[in-house]
Structure 1
C-alpha cells in the first residue's frame, strides 16, 4: 500500500505539469507523415527556438535523414554556428547567463512533447498576450507569469486579450472572448496557427524519432501473432482429435 501511495505521489505532479492548470487545451492535429510540415517545423525551431532551447539528445544528421532534407541544404540553412552534421543540436548560450536573464536556464526541448503533450504546446504557443507588468512584456494563459518572451511575435504580431460588453445581473461587464493579434506580424491568424502546428509536429517527432517505424513494426507483430494463434489452435485441434 505504501508503495502504491508513493507511486501515485510521483504521478500526480507529472499530470499537473502536463495539463497546465484548468485552461482548455486545443487539439493539435499533427501528422508525423507530413514531411513538408516537419521540415517547416524544423526551420521554425532552428530560427526562433534554438537560440535559447536545445534539443541536445537529437543529432542534426538524424533530423536531416528522417525529414528528407539534403545534407548540403540542411547544413547551409539549419546550422548556424559551424557544427558538424553528426553533432547534437545545442546552442552557445551559457547556462549561468541564461539563469541570470530568465531566472532559470531555458529547458531542453527534446522530450517536451512527451512530457507536456502536443495539445499543451499548441495551446501555449497560441495564448501569449501583451502584459506590460511582466519582465518581457507578455504573459500566457496556459503558463501564467511565464519567464520568457514571445519568441514567435515577429510572425504573429502583438497578441492582446479581447473582451466584449455583457449584461450580468443588470450590470454591464467586460467578458473575455479570446486573444487577437494586432496585424503587425508576418502571418495571418490562420497562417500562424498552421506554423505553430508545424512546430508542434516537429517537437513531437523529436521526442520519439522512431515512432513511425515502431508503430509499423508493431502492426506486423500483431499480424504475426494472430496468424500464429490460428496455427496453434489448428495444431491443438489436430493433437486432441484422437484423444476425444
Structure 2
C-alpha cells in the first residue's frame, strides 16, 4: 500500500494536468503490424533521440514487427549489434540541464496515463511565446518538451475564452498547415501511440495469443472435473 501511495504522489502532478481537457480516442490495435511499423519509424526518427524505451529490445522489435535485415539496418544505421533495449543517445543529466527534467519513457506514459491521454497530448501543442521552446500543451500545461512533430502538424494557436474573468484555453486552431493534412497527421500520431502501447509490454502479443488457448483449456478442464465430481458422488447421493 505504501508503494501505491508513493506512485500516486509521484504521478499526481501529471494526472492533475491530464484531466484538464477532453481526451480524443485513437484507434489502437497492437496486432496491426503495418501500424506498428509506421509508428516505430516515426518514433525512431522523431523521439528516440531523447526518449528511451527500456522495455523493448532491438531483437524483439525486429522479430515482432517483421523487419527484414535491410529494413532494420535502414531504421538503425548506426546500430552495430542487435542487443539491448532501445536507448536514447542523450544522457539523463543533459536532458535535465536542457529541459529541466529527465526525458521519460513514453511507453510508460502510455501505460500509466492511457493511450487516449498520450494521443491527445501529442496533438495538443500550440504556440506560446512565453515558454522556452515557444509552445505549450493543451493537456499538459507548461510542458518542458518541444513539439517535435511541428513540421508535420503545422502551427496551432490557442482559442482563449474567459471563464469567471479568467482566460482559459478552450480549444486549438490550425493557422499554418504542416507537411501532412490534419487527417494524415492524426493517423500518424495514432500509429505512434499504437507503437508505444506495444512497446510498453512487448510480450502482450504472445500473452494474448496464448491466453485464448489457456482459457479454452481451463474451460475443458472444468467440464472434465465437473463430470469427475459427478462420478465420485453419484453413489453418495
TM (normalized to structure 1)? 0.86
Query: What SS does the aligned partner of 1:33 have?
Result: coil
In 2: Cα distance, 1:193 partner to 1:13 partner: 32
Change (3 A) 1:57 1:9: closer
**1:114 aligns to 2:101 (yes or no):** no
Contact 1:18/1:120 (8 A) holds in 2: no
TM-score by length of 2: 0.88
Q: Tell me how far apart the structure 2 counterparts of residues 122 and 158 of structure 1 sit (CA, whole Å).
A: 17
Q: CA RMSD in A?
A: 2.6
Mapping for residues 6-85 of structure 1, pairs under 5 Å: 6=2, 9-10=5-6, 12-13=8-9, 16=12, 17-18=14-15, 20-76=18-74, 78-85=75-82
* Structure with max Cα Rg: 1
The partner residue of 1:93 within 90, 95, 103 is 90
Maintained 8 Å contact 1:61/1:71: no
Runs of 4+ in 1 over 4 A off after TM superposition: 174-177
Answer yes or no: is 1:160 the counterpart of 2:157.
Answer: yes
Cα shift readout 1:118-144 (whole Å, capped 9, x = no counterpart): 111001001111000000000001111
The count of residues paired between Structure 1 and Structure 2 equals 235
User: Which shows bigger deviation, 61-70 or 179-188?
Assistant: 179-188
Mean CA deviation greater in 65-74 or 15-24: 15-24
Q: 1:176-220: per-residue Cα shift (whole Å, max 9, x none)?
A: 552122333110111111110000000000011111221222222
Structure 1: stretches of 5+ with no match in the other structure: 169-173
Q: Structure 2: where are the runs of 5+ without partners?
A: none
